[in-house]
């Protein structure tokens, strides 16, 4: 499921993050991938040990905690601490698939990557190129969102970032282990949750809403892993 999550961060939050990021010390993004990824990756990242990365990541996580659409779509169980990258001067990332299991800050703790997320921190008119291309059974989908908006998609998807030929593209990116491993099941739960919310907003019969809510939770109970 490829889904646009609007307004994760306010324009004021984005501006504050950009101010400190513009003066930060960046490192070669190839340091955080294996040998296959290093062949096609050309960008910059905030260092893994950076205090700034941890501080900015906390802002992103806190914002996501209050976003109902994100929670309904992703059903997050564990989230890898957000990272931050920058593409400029022809920087790009060729087609690749994200690793299935990732190590957290604690070397003994791992998460399964079910959902990948990119949170855009640059406005689309600030740079040329830099589109996120996600390939699935329906073809290739081009994503370039306003600053503060995010895109979520299955981590099993083949994807790339096209070369930035003007300006600079900054973003946060991270991976989530969902309570519901299967992407199709997550999609069904999101559709059911959306229908329940719409019926409630339109004053539908309470008994029907209650019945559908019970179906939602019983499906979640059947599919959830904790």
The model's pLDDT over 78-136, given as tens digits with 9 standing for 90+, comes to 999 999 999 999 999 999 999 999 987 666 689 999 999 999 999 999 999 999 999 98
The two counts, helices (H) then strands (E), for the chain are 6, 16
**Residue 35 has what pLDDT?**
82
The model's pLDDT over 156-211, given as tens digits with 9 standing for 90+, comes to 999 999 999 999 999 999 999 999 999 999 999 999 999 999 999 999 999 999 99
Q: Which fold has domain 183-223?
A: DNA Excision Repair, Uvrb; Chain A (4.10.860)
**Cβ neighbours for 152, distance < 8 A, ≥ 6 positions apart:** 1, 2, 3, 5, 70, 73, 74, 115, 116, 117, 176
With cut-offs at 50, 70 and 90, classify the pLDDT of residue 62: very high
Please say if the pLDDT value at position 153 is more than 90.
Answer: yes
CATH code 4.10.860.20 region(s) in the chain:
183-223
Name the burial class of residue 22, with classes exposed (0-12), middle (13-18) and buried (19+) by CB atoms within 10 angstroms of its CB.
exposed
Q: Which of 65, 114, 75, 62 is nearest to 193 (CA)?
A: 75
Please say if the pLDDT value at position 60 is more than 90.
Answer: yes
Region at 107 (left for phi over 0; alpha for psi -120 to 50; beta for the rest): alpha
CATH code 2.60.120.620 region(s) in the chain:
3-178
Check if CATH label 2.40.128.20 holds for domain 3-178. Answer: no
**Residue 107 has what pLDDT?**
64
Mean local confidence (pLDDT), 150-155: 98
Do the Cβ atoms of 115 and 175 come closer than 8 Å? yes
Task: Output the pTM of the full model.
Answer: 0.95
Mean local confidence (pLDDT), 2-23: 97
**Residue 106 has what pLDDT?**
65
Do the Cβ atoms of 121 and 163 come closer than 8 Å? no
């Amino acid at each position: 499921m490829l889904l646009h999550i609007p307004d994760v961060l306010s324009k004021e939050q984005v501006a504050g993050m950009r101010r400190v990021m513009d003066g930060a010390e960046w490192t070669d993004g190839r340091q955080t991938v294996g040998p296959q990824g290093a062949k096609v990756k050309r960008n910059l990242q905030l260092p893994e040990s950076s205090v700034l990365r941890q501080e900015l990541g906390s802002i992103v996580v806190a914002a996501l905690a209050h976003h109902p659409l994100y929670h309904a779509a992703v059903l997050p169980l564990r989230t890898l601490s957000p990272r931050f990258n920058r593409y400029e001067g022809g920087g790009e990332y060729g087609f690749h698939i994200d690793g299935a299991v990732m190590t957290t800050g604690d070397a003994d703790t791992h998460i399964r990557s079910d959902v990948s997320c990119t949170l855009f921190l640059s406005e689309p008119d600030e740079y040329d190129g830099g589109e996120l291309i996600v390939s699935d059974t329906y073809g290739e989908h081009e994503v370039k969102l306003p600053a503060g908006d995010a895109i979520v998609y299955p981590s099993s998807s083949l994807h790339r970032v096209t070369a930035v030929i003007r300006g600079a593209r900054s973003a946060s990116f991270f991976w989530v282990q969902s309570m519901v491993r299967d992407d199709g099941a997550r999609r069904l739960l999101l559709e059911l949750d959306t229908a329940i919310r719409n019926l409630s907003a339109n004053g539908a019969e309470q008994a029907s809403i209650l019945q559908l809510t019970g179906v939602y939770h019983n499906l979640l109970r059947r599919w959830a892993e904790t």
